[in-house]
Amino acid sequence: MRFTSEASSDGVCEQLFTLGEIPGVLWTPEGAVGTRPLIVMGHGGGQHKLAPGIQAHARRFVAECDVAVVAVDVLGHGDRPRDEEFDRLATEEQARVEAGEELAPLLAGFQEFVARPTVTEWQVVLDAVQQLEYVGAGPVGYWGLSLGCGLGVPFVAAEPRVRAAVLGLCGAALVSAEDAAGITVPVEFLVQWDDERVPRDQSLALFDAFASVEKTLHANPGKHGEIPGFELDSTLRFFSRHLA
């Protein structure tokens, strides 16, 4: 794990790093010492580790919950080289979602090509970050919407260190049913009631599929990207409750 830059503002330290080929960013409280909870964030499709929504959430998680937060660029995103196969699969999937088509065959390819490698990458990142003295092996949370949910579902299902997850803006057709049923930790699941990209019944079906005893669905009016600001307050309290 090689740190390439470091800057601090408002009590939050932001360090860019690379781990092998993976470019990432770690946010921690300025002057942090000792073990603390860690939140892994997965960005949306076409976004990257420093997208405004990711950064704004990460800074509030650190400032208000005294946690560490890590995000990396997903294959084909941010500072990673363009990948034609990824672009082709993503474009196809988006077109089929918008057309309301059967996604299963495409999904299998997407899972194979993106989700499985991403789960492995995020586990390697988690290993490395938890080695740092000022992060350590504390409880882990996951936050990811849209593509960050599609990749987060197999990650949370596979990774026993994750104790709580905020997911959403994603439907049952976009993840494997086995992965969804493999999630047993508390989940806060965000649905946009007028989502132009994810059919409402697909969102409800994904929420239904999680095996978690504690899961809570929050639905608000508006399109895919229009989550109201008060949901971030709710997310902060959710992680405070489960990662303390």
Q: In the complex, which residues of this chain contact its own copies (CB under 8 A)?
A: 191, 193, 204, 207-208, 213-221, 228, 230, 233-234, 237, 241
| CA–CA gap between residue 171 and residue 207 (Å, rounded) | 8
Q: How far is the CB of 216 from its own copies (least distance, A)?
A: 5
* C-beta separation of 151 from 123 below 8 A: no
Q: How far is the CB of 189 from its own copies (least distance, A)?
A: 9
Q: Which of 141, 94, 169, 118 is nearest to 242 (CA)?
A: 141
Q: How far is the CB of 181 from its own copies (least distance, A)?
A: 14
For its own copies, the closer CB: 72 or 227: 227
Counting Cβ atoms within 10 Å, is residue 59 exposed (0-12), middle (13-18) or buried (19+)?
Answer: middle
Tell me the helices (H) and strands (E) count for the chain, helix number first.
Answer: 8, 9
Q: How far is the CB of 210 from its own copies (least distance, A)?
A: 9
| CA–CA gap between residue 235 and residue 239 (Å, rounded) | 6
Q: Which of 240, 224, 243 is nearest to 232 (CA)?
A: 240
Q: Which two three-digit tokens encode residue 37?
A: 């909870």
For its own copies, the closer CB: 46 or 222: 222
State the Rg of the chain over Cα.
Answer: 17
* C-beta separation of 11 from 18 below 8 A: no
Q: How far is the CB of 242 from its own copies (least distance, A)?
A: 11
For its own copies, the closer CB: 48 or 215: 215
For its own copies, the closer CB: 24 or 168: 168
Q: Which two three-digit tokens encode residue 117?
A: 């490698």
For its own copies, the closer CB: 88 or 237: 237
Give 66's DSSP letter.
-
Q: How far is the CB of 60 from its own copies (least distance, A)?
A: 16
For its own copies, the closer CB: 21 or 214: 214
Q: How far is the CB of 91 from its own copies (least distance, A)?
A: 32
- Establish how many alpha carbons lie within 13 A of residue 186's alpha carbon, considering only the half-sphere containing its beta carbon: 15
| CA–CA gap between residue 120 and residue 71 (Å, rounded) | 14
For its own copies, the closer CB: 122 or 207: 207
